[in-house]
Chain A
Amino acid sequence: MDFDSELDASGLNCPLPILRAKKAISALDAGQTLKIIATDPGSVKDFEAFCKQTGNELVSSGEEDGKFVFAI
């Protein structure tokens, strides 16, 4: 999968990954995809809620090498 931008929020606790994702998304155009890497287990629920509230699509959400990877 190709991404237009990538954000590594490893080691950071909520809400920083969300906050940084929000900023990164604002720099993208509609239809572009942002990849986010996070290590906070709470980020799974948080990104679901974030997408629901902001109308962004959570294209994928999964685990890779002990880290959580999201595509928005």
Chain B
Amino acid sequence: MSQRLSGPERRESILSAAQGLFANKGLHGVSVDEIARAVNVSPAILYRHFNSKQALYNAVLEKFSCQRQSYVDTIVNHGTRFEDALAGMTQVFIENVAKNPDILKIELHSLLEGNPATLAFFQNRWKSFTDYIEFGLNEYLPYDVPNREKTILTAGLMFQGMVREVLIQKCLQPQDRLIDLSLYELSNELVALFLRSIGINKTHLSRKATISG
């Protein structure tokens, strides 16, 4: 017999169970019946709150979106230097995912599932970084850098790949060889490595790399 819950509490319990199931099995690997069983309600009650599995899935994504930590604090408190803001943003993003790795699992499933709306949702999360990197590099990367446009375009992609892999290694598949490095340290190392890899030394960045209005 299911416990009597208020409407919003019931909705929340369904969302929470669905999040875990979608994270472990992907959108197509879970049925509405399975989610209903996990919260001990009939599918009819579940449909009263969400009219389809897709609607439930979208609500899970929406919940992640609402929990998104804003980068406003970072920008207000870390100044406008390119590397400081990038390090701050990376911290916020990484902490956010580490607190709730289900979002990373759902993202990885979604890459294989190929649902355009879901892919757009996750691309939009990364766009904060790729926009920032592309805009920042375009502002101050010397004009005589070889393959300047390609460098700018691929730098964002490279950063996204590095951050996502660190999260996979630390949150989903903990590796013994990385055990002595905290997520925080790894994140800082990653930003430093990224900055060096695009051929900008940090002293130069500290002096000049601010984003203009």
Chain A residues close to B by CB (< 8 Å):
7, 12-16, 18-24, 26-27, 42, 45-46, 49-50, 53-54
Q: Bound state CA distance, A19 and B70, in angstroms? A: 13
A19-B85, A20-B213, A54-B76 are known; give 8 further A-B pairs, CB within 8 A: A12-B135, A16-B131, A16-B132, A19-B132, A45-B70, A46-B70, A49-B72, A49-B73
Whether the pair A16, B135 counts as a contact (CB closer than 8 A) is yes
Contacts A/B (CB < 8 Å), 21 sampled:
A12-B135, A13-B128, A13-B131, A14-B72, A14-B128, A15-B75, A15-B89, A16-B128, A19-B75, A19-B85, A19-B132, A20-B211, A20-B213, A22-B75, A22-B76, A23-B212, A26-B213, A42-B68, A46-B72, A50-B72, A50-B75
Partner of A22, one of B80, B89, B127: B80
Q: Which residues of B contact A21 (CB under 8 A)?
A: 213
Looking at B80, B135, B213, the one whose CB has the most chain A CB atoms below 10 A away is B213
Contacts A20-B211, A53-B73: A15 and B128 contacting too (C-beta < 8 A)?
yes
- CB neighbours of B50 from chain A (8 A): none
Option from A15, A20, A54 in Cβ contact (under 8 Å) with B71 = A15
* Main SS class of interface, A: helix
**Contacting residues, chain A, for B213 (C-beta < 8 A):** 7, 20-24, 26-27
Give which listed residue, A18, A26, A27, A45, contacts B75 with CB less than 8 A.
A18
Residue from the list A7, A13, A24, A27 in contact with B124, Cβ < 8 A: A13
**Assembled-state Cα–Cα distance A19/B76 (Å):** 8
- The answer to whether the Cβ of B74 comes within 8 Å of any Cβ in the partner chain is yes
In angstroms, Cα B138 to Cα A12, docked, is 14
B80 surroundings in chain A (CB, below 8 A): 19, 22-23
Q: In the complex, A26→B70 CA distance in Å?
A: 21
Contacts of A13 in B (CB 8 A): 124, 127-128, 131-132
